[in-house]
């Protein structure tokens, strides 16, 4: 199982973590955040050779400037995207996109796809006509000897619709040229942690179906639930910094003039499988040192924040590098084990985390917002029981 950084805003943090702390096995580069010339000229070739490039055609008429630095992006190549007219340039776009990935010698090839928020009847037809068929033609023409992954952007609703899901499975498993799936799912959940059992179960069952069809699966935009996904021994999971790299949506591809309130700074606690508001964590550290010792896993980055004596800002890198390092360690522990032992290990750790949450609650002096609590853990445990019963 590989671990990729899901790069986004401040890709430099991912690169520094990879270079200096040796977290993960490579980067999935994001063109909406990283311009073409910068990727080609600045990033070391040895990093690109173990990394992937996500073409990000999800919103083909996106006006984001960095996307327009890539000559193959639909809006750029057409000078104004139109669904009806794209077919005329689809093969040219595919060849240019493939050439970019080959020229930079990325580890594998990722074939783009469009995101649709609804269960449209021609989902497969549009993906085939505009992206898959042109890209497969380009691959055949060039004779590229690299793994090829098809991007599959979906919603939880699609996964839970048995007919739609079956049609997707029949489609993606019909291509001998495709080695794997780059799976992205918009769960559309209000909580920061995935707490909907039906959605989580459908997601994991879909991954398993793909793997049973001998397709490698890269699970993109993983949040902490990637820990559970790792029990399936997928081809790759991801770690990300900001929330829009830990949960898939199309918001960052859209122009939005509205001012957004910055998120409260949070720190990742691997023993709780959760991010906790910094103010809450600092209160525990100061007022309940014995409890703090039980829940806290230090890194040089978190220790530097504490030593600074100032409330961190969400735009500063230290707490994200803390997260990269600790989550990579968790994944590293899991991937050493066979699948059955992974489930047992995770169930044991969830029990420990639940007891720690109970101890926090028993103190009744700490304010925990809804996203700091361990309400995701019973769902995760149930999902693990389901996986165990099906293995």
Same domain, 296 and 240: no
* Domain stop point among 221, 253, 285: 253
Q: Are 326 and 270 in contact (CB under 8 A)?
A: yes
Q: What is the pTM of this model?
A: 0.96
pLDDT for residue 218: 98
Same domain, 151 and 273: no
| Residue 183: CATH number of its domain | 3.20.20
CB atoms within 10 A of CB 190: 7
Answer yes or no: is 125 within a domain: yes
Same domain, 316 and 249: no
Instruction: Write out the two tokens for 14.
Output: 């991912």
List alpha helices for the chain, DSSP H.
11-21, 36-41, 45-48, 74-78, 83-86, 90-103, 123-127, 133-142, 156-160, 162-172, 197-212, 226-229, 278-287, 289-295, 300-308, 318-335, 339-363, 377-390
* Domain stop point among 253, 275, 293: 253
Same domain, 71 and 202: yes
Answer yes or no: is 259 within a domain: no
Q: Are 27 and 51 in contact (CB under 8 A)?
A: yes
Same domain, 48 and 119: yes
pLDDT for residue 257: 44
* Domain stop point among 231, 253, 275: 253
pLDDT for residue 339: 85
Domain, as residue range, for 216: 2-253
Same domain, 272 and 245: no
Answer yes or no: is 260 within a domain: no
State how far the Cα of 238 lies from the Cα of 29, in Å rounded to an integer. Answer: 12
Same domain, 148 and 72: yes
Structural domain total, the chain:
2
Same domain, 278 and 240: no
Answer yes or no: is 258 within a domain: no
Same domain, 82 and 118: yes
pLDDT tens profile 137-152: 999 998 888 999 999 9
- Given a cut of 70, the residues of the chain with pLDDT beneath it are 257-261, 364-367, 391
Give the DSSP H or E segment for 149.
Answer: strand 148-155
Same domain, 272 and 244: no
Answer yes or no: is 114 within a domain: yes
């Amino acid at each position: 199982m590989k671990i990729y950084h899901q790069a986004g805003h401040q890709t430099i943090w991912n690169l520094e973590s990879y270079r200096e702390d040796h977290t993960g096995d490579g980067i999935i580069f994001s063109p909406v955040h990283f311009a073409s010339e910068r990727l080609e000229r600045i990033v070391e070739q040895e990093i690109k050779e173990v990394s992937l490039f996500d073409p990000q055609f999800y919103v083909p008429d996106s006006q984001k400037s960095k996307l327009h630095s890539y000559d193959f992006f639909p809006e750029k190549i057409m000078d104004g995207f139109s669904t009806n007219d794209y077919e005329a340039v689809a093969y040219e776009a595919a060849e240019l996109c493939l050439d970019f990935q080959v020229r930079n010698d990325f580890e594998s090839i990722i074939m783009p796809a469009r995101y649709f928020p609804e269960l449209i009847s021609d989902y497969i037809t549009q993906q085939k006509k505009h992206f898959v068929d042109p890209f497969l033609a380009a691959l055949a023409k060039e004779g590229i000897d690299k793994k090829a992954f098809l991007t599959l952007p979906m919603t939880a609703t699609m996964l839970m619709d048995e007919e739609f899901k079956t049609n997707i499975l029949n489609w993606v498993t019909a291509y001998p040229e495709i080695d794997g799936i780059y799976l992205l799912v918009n769960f559309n959940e209000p909580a920061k942690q995935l707490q909907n059992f039906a959605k989580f179960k459908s997601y994991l069952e879909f991954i398993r179906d793909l793997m049973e069809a001998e397709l490698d699966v890269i699970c993109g935009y993983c949040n902490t639930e990637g820990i559970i996904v790792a029990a399936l021994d997928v081809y790759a999971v991801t770690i990300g910094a900001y929330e829009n790299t830990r949960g898939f949506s199309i918001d960052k591809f859209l122009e939005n003039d509205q001012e957004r309130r910055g998120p409260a700074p949070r720190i990742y606690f691997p023993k709780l499988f959760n991010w906790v508001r910094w103010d809450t964590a600092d209160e525990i550290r100061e007022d309940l040192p014995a409890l703090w010792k039980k829940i806290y896993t230090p890194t040089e980055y978190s220790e530097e924040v504490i030593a600074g004596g100032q409330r961190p800002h969400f735009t500063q890198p230290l707490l994200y590098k803390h997260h990269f390092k600790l989550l990579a360690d968790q994944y590293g522990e899991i991937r050493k084990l066979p699948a059955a032992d992974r489930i047992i290990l995770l169930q044991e750790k969830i029990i420990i985390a639940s007891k720690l949450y109970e101890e926090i609650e028993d103190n009744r002096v700490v304010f925990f917002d809804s996203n700091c609590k361990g309400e995701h853990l019973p769902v995760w445990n149930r999902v693990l029981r389901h996986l165990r019963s099906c293995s």
